Structure 1
């Protein structure tokens, strides 16, 4: 039996470790503000720097995972995450905290690049991605329930991310090394990146899609504490319930699979998310805040899983999955600062209007890219020479599912 089928579940574990920092962003930014006394804008800037470092890792490694091997790069990423976040947790000196966040963020991005590339190369990337999103949502939800009861300070969220990286390390033994890393069966050995026009539009749209949502996600803790008048324990409980509700969304996406294609879940889901952003940003109490956050987190991983599916279908070697994911991470990186600046200028409600409008605008090209009508070649097969670059892909790839955060 080849190493790839045996190594599927470790990719889910590495995916969880890589994505966790983004999922814990509100508490990271909030604790930087309350624990270190940083103004909200500066705390958001530190969160953006962390995620920008993560995105840069994805762009740097998009075409290099096969060359170095999944095992080696995954271990490097987890080691950097463990060292960087551990260092940030152990000191209150701001320059060292920022340096640790940068190192840890690069490690998270490296782990995510390995997971995205490996999942795209398998015949059922949608199923693997939904499993990864289930895992990271459950992990983050448990941490949101636990961290408020363990004390204050900025170090606990960083320590939690570092701890998960350490726990995932043994799973890398099941990943292939450089000698085992090979092209999927039937894949072209060419280094040319296929579907460049479609991939570029998808990456740009995913950047804006992620930026709009994570601008709100980065300041959601402040909305709950200051505008909605909730306690940290209550806000943490809302986030935990929201992330656990996201498990239902991911499970539904996995069960739904290709039955509705990709255009309806991506386009319709993005419109629903825009409404949730407006509700959350204008929340003045527990009911409205919890309603917006919970419904938002139900649809966010659903749409994300189909977006990753679409990116994975563009290149069986997983390069577009990594590049589009890195573009999404770049949007995530800009989110905290964008949210902090917008909320400072126009208030939380005005910020929600701007972000909701951006999501509605970006829903159009995403829906067009995902529309049915043309079938891509199955994952792991060479694209025909006559197939034009920029072909719009709308059908599932591989098995029942075809594909998170």
Structure 2
């Protein structure tokens, strides 16, 4: 008996959330490695470099495994990735020796990237990848928001965020065992659908991957130093800063919920383009904030819109290839940007100051909005309504709409009955006597008009 759709997606969501958690906790990781009470005392640049090493290892895992998940087995890879997360982050939490902390971050980051790659392939294989990615982001935002509230109350020390990530990975291990042995691929009308095909939509996918790299780098350049801005410029205490981040991630929960309710009613281009422009504005406001109110406003609004746009980008990448290769490649490119972000942010802030850094990052985001919107317009198409699918293409249109992430219920099942064909009997048409053509020369169609059957749809 096949698993129910809702039950089948829950293991994917658990693995997705565990893999993404380290990136969501990046500000507190960098802060606890730096000059926070009980931290390791690293400089801002060195702490940012450790965070970058963690995320770079995660991106490397995704790039390495982009086309190997099915061959190696999702269950085996997910378990290996989660075990690496447990081992690596437990090592980083259990020692104060900086080289061992860095080694633990690299090991845990590779495991995080492995888990994320498995989840990305599984999400891309679903009929509605946008909905699955929304559930994953909701779970990640809720988990990270709770940790931002709890961790400051447990005291200082660099071990807390690493231990939290290791525990989350351990809790996700049972879910990894319930992943399907091989993801069900999106149905295709091509007769050779079972044969491994060359990577489709290469130009659109390459543009999307490069743009997502820059998009992620610009935001994580600020995200990696947001803790320092809140403490140094906005004058917040560590507990108040944790509250701001928790509220911001709570706004992300509301935003992702709204994205799930909206679905593809507006397509992908509008949420991606407009959302990126809003994010750019928030980045500039938050980086230049000199008080608690503008800083909190920028952070909350930014983190509300960010997961909305990310969910549409994940769905867009998944729609380019039903085998999930573009989803993994674009996600890995995004992770490369995430990895470069903290180091870029600390270097920019150190040389030019936070306000100039915010202005530069906002310009980068405005620039990336153009290619991202273009890919969404070119590859995503407009939303297909049920009648449109039935009238214009039947099964082929249903396959295209399903691969593009159309709303559930809007696409007819492949191979199912579409519309009933009704036979209409038409009476014979009498030939007028006034026809001047002699009967012998008249065409057969004019001599006799037998009953015909027409069909209408």
Same-fold status (TM-score > 0.5): yes
Q: Which residue of 2 aligns with 1:399?
A: 407
Change (3 A) 1:108 1:373: closer
1:122 to 104, 120, 126: 126
Q: Which runs of 4+ in 1 moved over 3 A?
A: 1-6, 180-188, 372-378, 398-402
2:109 to 105, 109, 112: 105
Question: What residue number does 1:356 align with?
Answer: 362
What is the 5 A alignment of 1:62-141?
62-141=66-145
Shift of residue 235, structure 1, vs aligned partner: 0.5
1:210 equivalent to 2:207? Answer: no
Alpha-carbon separation, structure 2, partners of 1:115 and 1:309:
13
Deviates more, 1:207-216 or 1:365-374: 365-374
1:293 paired residue number: 299
Q: State yes or no: 1:343 paired with 2:349.
A: yes
> What is the distance in 1 between the residues matched to 2:382 and 2:249?
33
Please list, as runs of the form range in 1=range in 2, the aligned pairs for 1:15-26 lying within 5 A after superposition: 15-26=16-27
Closer, same or farther: CA 236–147 of 1 in aligned 2, 3 Å: same
Aligned pairs for 1:3-402 (under 5 A) are: 5=5, 6-34=7-35, 35-177=39-181, 180-181=182-183, 183-186=185-188, 187-371=193-377, 375=381, 396-400=404-408
Tell me the matched-pair count: 387
Quote how far apart the aligned CAs of 1:182 are.
Answer: 5.8
User: 2:443 matched to which residue of 1?
Assistant: none
* Deviation, structure 1 residue 4: 8.5
Q: Report if the CA contact (8 A) 1:85-1:159 is conserved.
A: yes
Q: 1:374 to 1:252 in 2, by over 3 A?
A: closer
Distance of aligned partners of 1:401 and 1:206 in 2 relative to their CA distance in 1, 3 Å threshold: farther
CA contact (8 A) 1:127 1:401 kept: no
SS in 1 for 2:166: helix
- Higher helix residue share: 1
TM-score by length of 1: 0.92
Relative contact order (C-alpha < 8 Å, sep 6+): which is higher? Answer: 1
CA distance in 1, matches of 2:255, 2:380: 27
Per the alignment, in what secondary structure is the counterpart of residue 34 of structure 2? helix
CA distance 1:247–1:59, shift in 2 (3 Å): same
Following TM superposition, by how much is the alpha carbon of 1:396 offset from its aligned partner in structure 2, in angstroms? 4.1
Closer, same or farther in 2 for the Cα pair 1:144/1:319, shift >3 Å? Answer: same
Tell me, yes or no, if the aligned pair for 2:126 and 2:185 is still in contact at 8 Å: no
Structure 2: state its 5+ residue gaps: 385-400, 411-457
State the distance in 2 between where 1:79 and 1:22 align: 18
* Match status 1:2 vs 2:2: yes
Distance in 2 of aligned mates of 1:298 and 1:82: 29
Structure 1 residue runs of 5 or longer lacking an equivalent are: 379-392
Structure 2 distance, partners of 1:190, 1:126, is 24
Residue deviations 1:50-83 (CA, integer Å, cap 9, x gap)? 0000000000001011111111110000000000
1:88–1:158 CA contact under 8 A, matched in 2: yes
- Distance, in Å, in 2 between the alignment partners of 1:2 and 1:64 is 25
1:258, 1:400 within 8 Å by CA — same for their partners in 2?
Answer: no
* Offset at residue 173 of structure 1 (A): 1.9
TM-score if structure 2 supplies the norm length? 0.82
Contact 2:148/2:246 (8 A) holds in 1: yes
Aligned Cα RMSD in Å? 2.1
